[in-house]
């Protein structure tokens, strides 16, 4: 069994089915989960939780996950973040790393891949 983690997981994904399934799976593991449908909704939140980590979809309307990460960093919100995307190229890996993402995962997410990544980034904060 993995150690108890602190801080919420903040999921930003425009697909309601993805948001809700991630919330269900992560809460089963005892994690607190906050959901946002896109970057604009997250950035409009006046009381963003400090600590924890972000799980951000790359391809969303309005702004990409990488653009959202840039705006979070401008606000000095430095929570670790995991980018999820349907198609990952070497270019996307590079841009994600330069933007501050700790990990890039390809959808569909397999087995405990996301949970293991969340445990890793939270353990290293």
* pLDDT band with cut points at 50, 70 and 90 for residue 49: confident
- Would 120 be classed as within a structural domain? no
Residues 51-98 pLDDT 10s: 899 999 999 999 999 999 999 999 999 999 999 999 889 999 999 999
- Would 92 be classed as within a structural domain? yes
- Would 7 be classed as within a structural domain? no
- Would 67 be classed as within a structural domain? yes
- Would 123 be classed as within a structural domain? no
Model confidence, pTM: 0.92
Q: Is 118 left (phi over 0), alpha (psi -120 to 50) or beta?
A: alpha
Reduced 3-state DSSP string for 76-99: CCCCCEEEEECCCCHHHHHHHHHH
d(CA 79, CA 49): 10
pLDDT for residue 3? 43
When divided into structural domains, the chain yields a total of 1
- Would 119 be classed as within a structural domain? no
Coil, strand or helix at 56: strand
What CATH number does residue 105 fall under?
Answer: 3.40.50.2300
d(CA 16, CA 22): 10
* Domain span holding position 25: 13-41+48-112
């Amino acid at each position: 069994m993995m150690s108890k983690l602190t801080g919420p997981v903040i999921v930003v994904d425009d697909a309601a089915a993805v948001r809700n399934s991630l919330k269900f799976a992560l809460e089963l593991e005892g994690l607190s989960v906050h959901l946002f449908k896109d970057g604009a909704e997250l950035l409009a939140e006046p009381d963003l939780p400090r600590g924890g980590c972000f799980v951000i979809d790359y391809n969303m309307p309005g702004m990409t996950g990488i653009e959202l990460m840039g705006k979070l960093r401008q606000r000095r919100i430095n929570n670790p973040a995991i980018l999820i995307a349907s198609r990952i190229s070497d270019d996307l890996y590079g841009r994600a790393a330069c933007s501050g993402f700790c990990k890039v995962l390809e959808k569909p997410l397999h087995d405990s891949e996301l949970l293991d990544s969340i445990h890793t980034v939270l353990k290293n904060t």
